[in-house]
Structure 1
Amino acid sequence: MRNLSFLVLITVLILSACGRPNIDEQTGQKTIRLAYLVNPTQSTHIMSEEFKEQVEEESDGRLRVELYPSGSLFPSDREAIEAVQLGNVEMTIPALASVSGFDRDFMILDLPYLFEDTEEAYSVLDGPFGQGLLDGLEDVNIKGLVYGENGFRHITNNIHPVYTPEDIEGQKMRTLESPVHTDVFNAFGANASPFAFGEMYSTLQQGTYDAMESPIALMYTSNLYEVQQYMSLTSHVYMPVALLMNNDFYESLEPDLQEIVMDAAEDYRENQRILSQEQNEEYMQEMVDGGLQVNDLTDEERQAFSEKAEPVYEKYEEMLGSELFDELNKAVEEAQ
């Protein structure tokens, strides 16, 4: 009975946090509620604290920022984005794959082996191509501020090291909530299906899934390396995060407050990327020391994965249009 009462209390608190007005009628102070899945040790949260401090200080208290890490308001990126769209909270920082559920053009960035390295990815995302995608979100009442870093994603599993697509054939693989990711891993030969991130630890521990794929920092900060034996550095997708705001809320801000929010978001982008890469080095060593077996792949081995995904490229080029693919290819060429 106590457990039931506790759960009811938590539910009431969450609903009240989402549903209360975000403007103080007496002072006119506006509150930005920022919800995301990662825990307080990860770069997304650490730089969100700096975002909060900068916005509050530069706005002279006209804006207040409340942080809700660790999925405390929403168990999945999709639900957090939907809450932002509806105005139940003002901001979220999801992995980009979930954004494609609100604007399918973002599916193009879920395809594997688009970028050689992070600098190439930054150039494309921060340039006209990436900005054009963010601008398109305004049609669904979302303001795309900037891209942050989630990083290159790698395959982990509990069976054996992965060097070729044949090594994951038939494995039960958890993917992000993106049809592109699921299609890609099914093309690799896995038995792939999406699953909400918040329950991944227990799901892997119980053997419901054999494998998943994740950036290094998220693997470490969520302790998933404790329930996975092998990490193979496939670097199959570069996955950004995106700072998203309710567009109606953004438009309601005075121009100087809009500028403060955007400046803080841009500072977030630069500093979070640096911290993310620093954490990757530190966390990888700690996971190896903790018993995780890590293997790298050659360029030829990665090429074998890329070739397996060619039918997926064809499917989504037909769906999204060759013009969008041409724009991306041009942006990548200019970044090289």
Structure 2
Amino acid sequence: MRKFTFIILMMVLISSACGRPGTDEESGQKTIRIAHLVNPTQSSHMMAEAFKEQVEEESGGQLRVEIYPSGSLFPSDREAIEAVQLGNIEMTIPALASLSGFDQNFMILDLPYLFENEAEAYSVLDGPFGQELLDGLEEVNIKGLVYGENGFRHITNNINPVYTPEDIEGQKMRTLESPVHTDFFNAFGANASPFAFGEMYSSLQQGTYDAMEAPIALMYTSNLYEVQEYMSFTSHVYMPIALLMNNDFFESLDEDHQEILMDAAETFREDQRELEQEQNVEYLEEMKEAGLQVNDVSDEEKQAFRDRAEPVYEKYREMLGPELFEDLEAAIEEAE
């Protein structure tokens, strides 16, 4: 009975959040509903709150923002993106890997060991290459506003520290909802498969998965360090987030309101990246104090992972086309 009651309450919540029209015809006020997965202590939610304040203030209340964190409306990034695409909500802030199901060109950013550091990633993402990817989303009714940051991702597990691919041979590993991630972790030797983020804690706690991978701040704010013993700094992927909006909704706004949204999005990008970096330092120390065992992985050891990933690179070079790879390589060279 309690389970049934919970299901009914969730249906009412989703219906009330997604069923309201985006525009109040009498006042002309428009509501922007943002649904995302992370909890309120994570940087992307905190900066979404600042985004809300800026948009509402600069629009004189004509644009109203509602935020639904912690997967309260949708249990996965993919479902939240679909809701934005269909206009059931106006915005979401997913990890970029989930966008590959809507535009396969985003798969190129899921490949391992593309970027040496955050500055290089920012240069590529905020430059012409990254903007062209965002612009391509308009073909599927999604407006890509800006990139934010989840940061470099690291392998965690309950079995042993990871220094080489051999250390994760056969481990049941959860990956993001991206075929590229599943492919390269299988190439590393893991038994990899995607799984909804909202159910990760219980699946790790119950042993359904041995391992996963995540950036530092997300690991902490989702309490996943409580059900993982080891974190190895593999830095195998730099993962952005993206601030996404339903394109029809964006185009329905007057130019002043569009400009307000873009200005607030750019502020979100800069402040969220800065806060994410600060959280990484603070949260890593707190996880260590709580008992998480952390180990570095040397450049020589990372090379073994790169070597294992070569067939994956070739697969996606053929799938996506050499021109896209050449454009990315040129953008990386320019950033160096």
* Superposition CA RMSD, Å: 0.7
Greater shift, 117-126 or 3-12, is seen at 3-12
Structure 1 regions of 5+ residues with no counterpart?
none
1:48 matched to which residue of 2? 48
Once the two structures are TM-superposed, the CA of residue 26 in structure 1 deviates from its matched residue by 1.4
Across the two proteins, how many residue pairs are aligned to each other? 336
Q: How does 1:146-157 map to 2 (within 5 A)?
A: 146-157=146-157
Instruction: Report the residue type matching 1:24 in the other structure.
Output: D
Structure 2: distance between partners of 1:13 and 1:275: 30
Asked if 1 retains the 8 angstrom alpha-carbon contact of 2:105 and 2:133, the reply is yes
1:27-47 deviation digits (Å, cap 9, x = unpaired): 010000001000000000100
| Structure 1 residue 3 displacement after superposition | 4.1
What amino acid is aligned across from residue 90 of structure 1 in structure 2? E
Q: Which amino acid in structure 1 is aligned with residue 209 of structure 2?
A: Y
Q: What is the CA–CA distance in structure 2 between the aligned matches of 1:193 and 1:10, rounded to whole Å?
A: 27
Which segments of structure 1 move beyond 6 Å, counting only runs of 4 or more? none
Could you say which residue in structure 1 is the equivalent of 2:84?
84
| Equivalent AA in structure 1 for residue 58 of structure 2 | E
Structure 2 unpaired stretches of 5+: none
Which residue number in structure 1 is paired with residue 274 of structure 2? 274
CA distance in 2, matches of 1:110, 1:62: 38
Paired with 1:277 and 1:3, the residues of 2 have a C-alpha distance of: 39
Matches within 5 A, 1:56-75: 56-75=56-75
Q: What is the DSSP-based 3-state SS (H/G/I as helix, E as strand, rest coil) of the residue aligned with 2:49?
A: helix
2 CA distance for matches of 1:173 and 1:190?
Answer: 6
**Contact 2:170–2:191, Cα closer than 8 Å, also in 1:** yes
Matches within 5 A, 1:193-204: 193-204=193-204
Asked if structure 1 preserves the Cα contact closer than 8 Å seen for 2:156 and 2:230, the reply is yes
**Aligned position for 2:283:** 283
Identity %: 80
1:260 aligned residue? 260
Could you tell me how far apart the structure 2 residues matched to 1:12 and 1:6 are?
10
Q: Is the 8 A contact 2:23 2:31 kept in 1?
A: yes
SS at match of 1:70: coil
| Aligned partner of residue 309 in structure 1, secondary structure | helix
Aligned to 1:329: 329
Deviation at residue 88 of structure 1 after TM alignment:
0.2
Report the AA paired with residue 333 of structure 2: E
* Matching residue of 1:169: 169
SS of residue in 2 equivalent to 1:242:
strand
In structure 2, what is the equivalent of residue 300 of structure 1?
Answer: 300
Q: Which letter does structure 2 place at the counterpart of 1:302?
A: K
Which residue of the partner structure matches residue 189 of structure 2?
A: 189
Matched, 1:135 2:135: yes
> Paired residue for 1:222?
222
CA distance in 2, matches of 1:139, 1:294: 43
Alignment of 1:98-137 (within 5 A): 98-137=98-137
Q: TM-score, normalised by structure 2?
A: 0.99
- Corresponding letter in the other structure for 1:240: P
- Corresponding residue number in structure 1 for 2:206: 206
Provide the rounded CA distance (Å) in 2 between the counterparts of 1:306 and 1:318: 18
- SS across alignment from 1:170: coil
